[in-house]
Amino acid sequence: MKQMSSLAYHFGIKLRFYPSSKQKKIIKLNYDAQRFVYNSYVR
């Protein structure tokens, strides 16, 4: 099997999503928690 680095091109998928208001709140909550954990390790 070939390695990805040996191929001439790398292909990906572009996705666009439209979250509902409830999903936006969940995404924000997860992002804020991730930022808190990152900042606690950096400091």
Please identify which residue in the block is written with the tokens 């390790």.
41
Domain ranges of the chain: 18-42
pLDDT tens profile 17-36? 999 999 999 999 999 999 99
What dihedral do alpha carbons 24, 30, 32, 35 form, nearest 10°?
-140
Predicted TM-score of the model (pTM) = 0.56
Please identify which residue in the block is written with the tokens 């572009």.
14
What is the pLDDT at residue 37?
96
Question: Does pLDDT of 3 surpass 90?
Answer: no
